[in-house]
């Protein structure tokens, strides 16, 4: 029987799904992953997060093709989800080897010959402080160094599983693309590929996504505990379902041609440099990058937009003096065009959208106008001073300071990733990145914006950004500064190096 998950689109059920990171692996993907780990003559598989048993189903389905039965073992933290597997065709006997235990604390008596997993995809901000401390200690014990605090739960599943892998054992994990694109990624994958053999990486075209309607791009890694090698197979699946992915894996990657899969024999050094989730890029870009012309900072993080980011009516109701208010923009969808104008702000005001940032400096609260003192008292009643970000500020109501950037970047978008010209000196919140040209000449700024808007430049964002579901990307400030600018476009528009203006 197949395992199929109907995803809730919103509400409490969707939020619970995000908290637990439980997304089921479709059969055609699960069977390919089990094919890899069982191809090393393993007689049992271990799933660190069994869930409803997608990999157990796949193992039972593939036994006739590999000519032997597979023992089923694993861990699962949620007993209620495990019981759901009995409604999908598994028997109680199939679950006899499953422990109700968090995998990150699991220490088996013997190392494991075959590990296959779709680990819980839980982002760092959903982890408790206690859990983060434990996971950082775990990474130090295994890797010899700690991972960045923004590392997701799934990454710790991966390194713990690698640590439990038997000699010449095999591991297949399906994980989000941010595992290869985060700030920690280069160091992590350098360590992995120095200690293990990375046989293959499988990526998916958005049309072939194993998890449609989920905001992540999935990637499969196939790793063996064997001497490292300097090349790997890299594949991109272009059509969902079908048998070709499993057949290619079962052939030990020797199938000469697959209609639904683009396959590359790839240099490991290039793949890590480019990003294992990204297409091969043999040539190193030697031309201009955005950092040659501008610096990039994130937008302002208020810590409580509902308190500090106000509509005009709210500002009037609490009588905030204009000297404490700055024009601001919070959401990318509030900017319908590629230019923020006075008309843009007026339209948002008419819609009742927030357009004003409450910007107070570090002066004592008692020196502020009485209307502001009263408003800050409300903030205290709401316990805002104890929020994670706000409690790092002295005093708690002191707002970050930015110069108004002439160019904004809508850094996380589903369809309309773009650079926006800021004509009204609006302060961007964290839905944007701030692009500050090195030279303040208006002609220079306009030319830079034209280069950044060009479709060839936008296409290059995939080389520096983190990829998410449905083609969406996220780009961090330092990564955006590395954005390659197409040299013919730079020359045609006449954008001159900033050193000529100094």
- Residues 107-154: pLDDT tens digits? 999 999 999 999 998 775 677 888 888 999 999 999 999 888 778 899
DSSP code string of 104-153: GG---SS-EEEEEE------GGGS-HHHHHHHHHHHHHHHSSPPPTT--H
**What average pLDDT does range 432-443 have in this prediction?**
94
Q: Give the range among 256-270, 302-316, 413-427 with minimum mean pLDDT.
A: 413-427
**What average pLDDT does range 437-452 have in this prediction?**
95
- Estimate to the nearest angstrom the gap between the alpha carbon of 78 and the chain centroid: 25
- With 80 as the cut, is the pLDDT of residue 319 above it? yes
The pLDDT of residue 124 is 58
Give per-residue pLDDT as tens, 153-203: 999 999 999 999 999 999 999 999 889 987 788 899 999 999 999 999 999
d(CA 205, CA 260): 10
Whether the Cβ atoms of residue 239 and residue 208 lie closer than 8 Å to each other: yes
Confidence of residue 474 (pLDDT cuts 50, 70, 90): confident
Single out the residue of 243, 241, 248, 250 nearest to residue 264, CA to CA: 248
Q: Give the range among 88-97, 282-291, 311-320 with minimum mean pLDDT.
A: 282-291
Domains of the chain (ranges, CATH numbers): 11-274 (3.40.50.150), 285-301+402-502 (3.90.220.20), 305-328+353-399 (no CATH)
The pLDDT of residue 1 is 44
The pLDDT of residue 413 is 53
End-to-end CA separation in angstroms for the chain: 69
- With 60 as the cut, is the pLDDT of residue 207 above it? yes
The residue ranking higher by pLDDT, 84 or 327, is 327
The pLDDT of residue 78 is 92
The pLDDT of residue 152 is 86
d(CA 182, CA 488): 30
Task: Read off the pTM.
Answer: 0.75
**What average pLDDT does range 66-78 have in this prediction?**
95
The pLDDT of residue 285 is 65
**What average pLDDT does range 60-74 have in this prediction?**
94
The pLDDT of residue 54 is 94
- With 90 as the cut, is the pLDDT of residue 267 above it? yes
d(CA 25, CA 217): 13
Q: How many helices (H) and strands (E) in the chain?
A: 18, 21
Give per-residue pLDDT as tens, 332-383: 889 989 999 999 999 999 999 999 999 999 999 999 999 999 999 999 999 9
Whether the Cβ atoms of residue 183 and residue 148 lie closer than 8 Å to each other: yes
The pLDDT of residue 309 is 98
- With 60 as the cut, is the pLDDT of residue 212 above it? yes
Angle, CA 219 vertex, CA 217 and CA 220 arms, to 5°: 155
The pLDDT of residue 217 is 84
- Estimate to the nearest angstrom the gap between the alpha carbon of 7 and the chain centroid: 19
The pLDDT of residue 122 is 75
- With 60 as the cut, is the pLDDT of residue 6 above it? no
The pLDDT of residue 17 is 38
Q: What does DSSP assign to residue 337?
A: S
**Mean pLDDT of the chain, nearest integer:** 89
Confidence of residue 473 (pLDDT cuts 50, 70, 90): confident
Give per-residue pLDDT as tens, 481-491: 999 999 999 99
């Amino acid at each position: 029987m197949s395992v199929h998950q109907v995803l809730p689109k919103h509400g409490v059920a969707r939020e619970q799904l995000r908290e637990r990171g439980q997304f089921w692996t479709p059969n055609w993907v699960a069977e390919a992953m089990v094919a890899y780990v069982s191809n090393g003559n393993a007689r049992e598989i271990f799933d660190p997060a069994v869930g409803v048993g997608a990999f157990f189903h796949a193992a039972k389905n593939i036994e006739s093709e590999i000519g032997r039965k597979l023992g089923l073992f694993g861990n699962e933290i949620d007993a209620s989800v495990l019981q759901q597997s009995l409604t999908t065709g598994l028997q109680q006997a199939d679950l006899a080897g499953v422990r109700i235990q968090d995998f990150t604390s699991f220490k088996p008596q013997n190392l494991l010959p075959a590990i296959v997993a779709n680990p819980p995809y839980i982002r760092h901000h959903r982890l408790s402080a206690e859990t983060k401390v434990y996971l950082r200690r775990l990474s130090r014990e295994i890797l010899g160094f700690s991972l960045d605090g923004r590392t997701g739960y799934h990454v710790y599943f991966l390194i713990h599983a690698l640590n439990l892998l038997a000699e010449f054992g095999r591991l297949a994990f399906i994980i989000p693309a941010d595992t290869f694109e985060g700030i920690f990624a280069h160091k992590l994958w350098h360590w992995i590929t120095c200690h293990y053999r990375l046989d293959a990486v499988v990526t998916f075209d958005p049309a072939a996504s194993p998890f449609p309607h989920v905001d992540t791009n999935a990637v499969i890694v196939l790793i063996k505990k064997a001497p490292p090698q300097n090349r790997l197979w890299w594949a991109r699946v272009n059509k969902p379902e079908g048998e070709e992915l499993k057949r290619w894996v079962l052939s030990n990657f020797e199938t000469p041609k697959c209609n639904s899969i683009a396959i590359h024999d790839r240099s490991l050094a290039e793949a890590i440099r480019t990003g294992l989730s990204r297409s091969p890029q043999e040539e190193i870009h030697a031309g201009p990058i955005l950092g040659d012309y501008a610096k990039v900072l994130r937008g302002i993080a208020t810590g409580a937009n509902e308190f500090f980011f106000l509509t005009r009516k709210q500002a009037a109701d609490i009588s905030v003096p204009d000297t404490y208010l700055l024009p601001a923009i919070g959401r990318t969808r509030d900017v319908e065009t590629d230019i923020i104008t006075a008309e843009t702000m007026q339209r948002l005001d008419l819609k009742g959208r927030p357009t004003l940032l409450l910007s107070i400096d570090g002066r004592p609260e008692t020196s502020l106008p009485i209307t502001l003192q009263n408003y800050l008292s409300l903030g205290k009643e709401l316990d805002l001073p104890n929020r994670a970000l706000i409690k790092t500020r002295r005093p708690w109501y002191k707002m970050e300071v930015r110069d108004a950037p002439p160019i904004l970047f809508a850094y996380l978008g589903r369809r309309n990733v773009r650079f926006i010209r800021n004509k009204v000196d609006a302060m961007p919140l964290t839905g944007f990145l701030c692009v500050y040209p090195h030279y303040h000449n208006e002609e220079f700024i306009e030319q830079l914006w034209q280069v950044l808007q060009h479709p060839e430049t936008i296409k290059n964002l995939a080389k520096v950004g983190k990829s998410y579901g449905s083609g969406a990307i996220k780009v961090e400030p330092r990564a955006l500064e590395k954005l390659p600018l197409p040299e013919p476009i730079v020359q045609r528009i006449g954008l001159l190096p900033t050193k000529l203006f100094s």
